[in-house]
Chain A
Amino acid sequence: MIEFHLDERSGVPPYLQIVQQVQQALRLGLLGVGDRLPTVREVVEQLVINPNTVLKAYRELEHQELVVSRPGQGTFVIRTLGPVSLASHATLRRSLTRWLENAREAGLDEESIVALFNATLWESRLQESEGTA
């Protein structure tokens, strides 16, 4: 059974870390269709976190139609994720490298590049959440 861990310093909310760890396990084939996720109580006692955090993560996974919760039985994987295509990785990486070159030419140092990236990521997240709200 999958065991979760939390990175206290990543800045990623705990519920999202759980979601990402399930997605990653599905991509790597460590979790497959029919597998049961740990119960909320098991996760809560292992990580010493709030039960609502786990419920939120499991709801999000249900929303993504990756798992289904069967009352009294548990939460089960119903769909798996294919591995991320390496081809698309390479393309994205090339365009990111080009973008970094442009940023350096424009006089941005590494910290400003990180700050700009984080601010843009945050804005797009905000717009996405406003879009779905």
Chain B
Amino acid sequence: MIITKQKKIGDILNSIGEGPVFIAGCNECATICHTGGEKEVLEMKDTLNEKGIEVTGWTVLEPACHLLNDKRILRKYENEVNKVKKILVLACGNGVQTLSEIFEEIDIVSGTDTLFLGEIKHTNEFEKRCDMCGDCVTDLFGGLCPVSRCPKGMLNGPCGGSTDGKCEVDRDMPCVWNMIYNRLKNKGELNQLKEIRGPKDWSKATEWKRGT
């Protein structure tokens, strides 16, 4: 799941400046994160109206990152979109740019900050799980990822700041290396951690395209 959070309304209003505006949400990640589902889109519409900004229309894309679906859905809103100077996108950074690709003449404004690829723990509670490094190494670490979950991305064991199972950078955050250690210890596989793991091949994280 791509985790987003809504920008502060003041920042959104600054970016919009003046209307009219069309609002586009997303029916997948942003809906589950409660940042760009129908409910949040309608709330945003009300907020903008209260601030005197005209909203000509709105939709929830299925999902916003799908170029062809977006084109198909937005065709139905041609009149509403033709009247606006700005489209406010309540989706992830990908959704924002898919709309930028479709509308070259209209300013696209992001209403969210995209945070990470993470897990839904409870409603409105998310935790980072993946950095999309292009070279998954979780099999070496008991199925846990030190690349994304250790603030120093350490591959050869915990730094000196692991205390009582917590990370020095955030005392509320479990030290993933402590978790890896305990997991492998329970499985009797601590030998895995004695191997020196070499530097990661970060060129795999800079792939920009995949197709058939």
Do A and B come together as binding partners?
no
